[in-house]
């Protein structure tokens, strides 16, 4: 099973799409990286921007994103239950041998179930721009109180007045039997650090959200898609 998972991962590759940032006529655009902050993505829309007038903007997960995780979770639980029942009903429970036979379907289904749970848990993680507090917070840890020494890109936290621009880039995601583009929206801080906001497969929607968010924050959108 571990070899199968390893082969599945190896079949998936990510390719950054080259881009010349000199078109933005901004020195910082020439100095920051244009490679993905978050490798991978999705071939469907995972988040949508919601403006809660007049001070708060949020990215909320889409129904499709939640259903994707829910389907994985249900498949995992169903497969685990069905295979365990079939095996248990077919043989007498004779100690270690039966435990081994039961462990395999539990592991197989558990991977799907845990994957679905993780997807739902990640999808519901908060992404919030708040003009009243003057900050951006992404993730449950950043949503809580953060000390001054942790106010940096790696913590999912940034002051709104430190955001220089929004960066929109694309990456080519390729599997053995399929491929797609995923589009990544990042914050570019005055320091040159970048924070990923969302990453999904709907170009038109993420462009609309980027423009709306840029107007909300009063900063430019560097669109490299």
Q: For the segment 151-175, what is each residue's pLDDT rounded down to a tens digit? A: 556 678 899 999 999 999 999 888 7
What range defines the domain where residue 74 resides?
A: 67-120
Same domain, 185 and 88: no
Between 176 and 225, the higher pLDDT residue: 225
Residues 201 and 145 grouped into a single domain:
yes
The answer on 95 and 157 residing in a single domain is no
- Among the residue ranges 17-21, 165-169, 207-211, 220-224, the one predicted with the least confidence is 17-21
In a shared domain, residues 148 and 175 = yes
Domain identity same for 97 and 43:
no
Query: Both 215 and 134 in a single domain?
Result: yes
Q: Indicate if the pLDDT at residue 78 is higher than 70.
A: yes
Beta bridge mates, 51: 57
Cα–Cα distance for residue pair 210/57, rounded to 1 Å: 12
| Residue 56 maps to a domain | no
| 100 shares its domain with 133 | no
DSSP state of 160: G
Q: How confident is the model at residue 8 (pLDDT cuts 50, 70, 90)?
A: very low
pLDDT at position 105 is: 66
Q: Is the pLDDT of residue 28 over 50?
A: yes
pTM of the complete model: 0.76
For residue 62, being part of any structural domain is answered with no
Order the strands of the 127-130 sheet from edge to edge: 47-52, 56-61, 127-130, 135-138, 157-159
What's the CA gap between 5 and 10, in Å, rounded?
Answer: 9
Q: What is the pLDDT of residues 82-106, one digit of tens each?
A: 766 666 665 555 555 556 666 666 7
Question: pLDDT value at position 206?
Answer: 97
Q: Specify whether the CB–CB gap between 180 and 42 falls below 8 A.
A: no
Domain match, 15 and 108 both: no
Contact 49, 213 (CB under 8 A): yes
| Residue 21 resides in a domain | yes
Is there a single domain that holds both residue 200 and residue 182? yes
H-helix or E-strand containing 40? none
38 and 132 share one domain: yes
> Is residue 26 predicted with pLDDT exceeding 70?
yes
222 or 53: whose pLDDT is higher? 222
Residues 96 and 141 in one domain: no
Question: Same domain for 93 and 201?
Answer: no
Position 70 pLDDT exceeds 60: yes
Domain boundary among 57, 92, 120: 120
């Amino acid at each position: 099973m571990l070899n199968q998972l390893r082969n599945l991962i190896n079949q998936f590759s990510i390719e950054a799409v080259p881009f010349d940032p000199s078109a933005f006529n901004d020195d910082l655009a020439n100095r920051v990286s244009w490679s993905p902050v978050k490798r991978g993505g999705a071939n469907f829309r995972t988040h949508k921007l919601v403006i809660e007038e007049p001070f708060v903007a949020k990215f909320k997960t889409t129904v499709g994103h939640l259903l994707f995780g829910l389907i994985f979770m249900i498949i995992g639980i169903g497969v685990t239950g069905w295979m365990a029942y079939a095996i248990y009903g077919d043989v007498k429970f004779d100690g270690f041998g039966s435990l081994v036979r039961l462990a395999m379907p539990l592991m197989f289904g558990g991977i799907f179930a845990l994957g679905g749970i993780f997807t739902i848990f990640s999808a519901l993680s908060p992404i919030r721009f708040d003009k009243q507090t003057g900050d951006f917070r992404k993730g449950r840890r950043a949503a809580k109180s953060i000390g001054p020494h942790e106010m940096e890109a790696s913590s999912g936290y940034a002051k709104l007045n430190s955001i220089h621009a929004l960066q929109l880039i694309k990456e080519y995601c390729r599997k053995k039997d399929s491929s797609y583009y995923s589009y990544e929206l990042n914050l570019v801080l005055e320091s040159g650090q970048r924070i990923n906001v969302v990453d999904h497969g709907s170009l038109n929607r993420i462009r609309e959200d980027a423009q709306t968010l840029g107007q909300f924050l009063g900063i430019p959108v560097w669109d490299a898609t």
